[in-house]
Amino acid sequence: MAHSTESDLDDASAHDASAHDASVRDAGEATRRRQLFPRPAHSILTRTGGFLSGFTHSLQPYSGCQFSCRYCYVREMTVQRANPFGLPWSRWLAPKTNAPELLWRTARRGGLEAARIFCSSATDPYTPAERKLGLTRGCLEVMARHPPAALVVQTRSPLVLRDRAVLARIPHVLVSVSLPTVDEGVRRLMEPDSPSVARRLDALARLRRAGLRTQAAVAPVLPGDPAALARALDGCVDRVVVDDFFRGDGAGGRRSRGALERLRAAGYERFAEPGMAAEVARELRRHLGSERVLESEAGFNDLGWASSV
Ligand code: SF4
């Protein structure tokens, strides 16, 4: 598999270039503070179950993640607890250097045709290192030639824009961008190393203009004005999925204790209680229409948009 490089990005406009520059700055800053452990993996597709029961597999081109969302429940899971590097979550990243090759082998055996793939559930496929390594892009190239029955690309990074031409060649794909709040102050409090709200909204709008199906994942819902959220999303997403800490972390909120304490300490007690996702979803439905607003597990697993499923 030939991986794409920066020189392949001949469809990038001047606007892209400036967004990419910002991505590079983000990536550079993040990478300076984090250690990379590139190594080949034994497998690339993992059978799903539980929360992602609508999917057959998850695809993680990376182990670990360079974003350090304060609410990330993956830090409470085996991938972090058993990490061999002895580093805290978000301080290490293990790129699976042979990810596209492994996926290619699966594709050649016909293993992708019926697959419903979620990319990714325990990392961000556009973690800053992806800009140089192109492992996610390499996997997308494989799926453009051997399309799965459905693919959801879940990210919080505008770097996904780089791959919109490849994504457009995959028939049943939905690009989901995490946007738990449109309050930039809250974003900085809970996702200090992640791209800004404005850049994520811009990415969603441009992905949709490129003809891609888009989703905003308001998950976990963070403090902010739901009406402002609805106004920001209308026009740039096909649908929204709302979730909270209590349903979304797979442990009734136990994996999110630190994030909930942080919210309470900052004066956002209401958002640290169950029920906010339903309340925000109601408000979003008032503005966007009920068919465009889904909730929690049922929402993430709704693959009705993929005619192949
Ligand atoms: S981007 Fe996802 S996997 Fe990475 S730290 Fe944030 S919540 Fe965790």
Protein residue with its CA nearest to atom 8 in ligand 1: 72
Q: What is the dihedral of CA 72, 200, 128, 52, to 10 degrees?
A: 40
Would you give the DSSP letter of residue 62?
E
Distance of alpha carbon 204 from alpha carbon 212, whole angstroms: 9
Residues whose CB is less than 8 angstroms from the CB of residue 269 and which lie 6 or more positions away in sequence, other chains included: 263
Would you give the DSSP letter of residue 39?
B
Q: Separation of 242 CA from ligand 1 center, angstroms?
A: 17
Residue 120 preceded by cis peptide, ω within 30? yes
If one residue of 33, 66, 70, 72 were mutated to test the ligand 1 pocket, choosing by the most ligand atoms within 8 A of its CB, it would be: 72
Give residue 28's pLDDT.
46
Extract the tokens encoding 306: 């993929």
Extract the tokens encoding 97: 């250097």
Q: Around 239, how many Cα atoms within 13 Å sit in the side-chain half-sphere?
A: 19
Identify which of 176, 177, 165, 179 has the alpha carbon closest to the alpha carbon of residue 211.
165
Residue 25 in this model has a pLDDT that exceeds 70: no
If one residue of 66, 69, 119 were mutated to test the ligand 1 pocket, choosing by the most ligand atoms within 8 A of its CB, it would be: 69
Q: How confident is the model at residue 23 (pLDDT cuts 50, 70, 90)?
A: very low
Judge whether 256 and 250 are in contact, CB under 8 Å.
Answer: no
End-to-end CA distance of the chain: 28
Q: What is the pLDDT of residues 178-212, one digit of tens each?
A: 999 999 999 999 999 999 999 999 999 999 999 99
Distance of alpha carbon 23 from alpha carbon 32, whole angstroms: 14
Atom of ligand 1 nearest to the CA of 75: 8
Residue 15 in this model has a pLDDT that exceeds 90: no
- Mean pLDDT, the chain, as a whole number? 89
Distance of alpha carbon 160 from alpha carbon 170, whole angstroms: 14
Task: Report the predicted TM-score, pTM, of the whole model to 2 decimal places.
Answer: 0.89
Extract the tokens encoding 145: 């030639």
Q: What is the CATH architecture of 11-301? A: Alpha-Beta Horseshoe (3.80)
Judge whether 244 and 214 are in contact, CB under 8 Å.
Answer: no
Q: Separation of 283 CA from ligand 1 center, angstroms?
A: 26
Judge whether 63 and 124 are in contact, CB under 8 Å.
Answer: no
Q: What is the pLDDT of residues 136-185, one digit of tens each?
A: 999 999 999 999 999 999 999 999 999 999 999 999 999 999 999 999 99
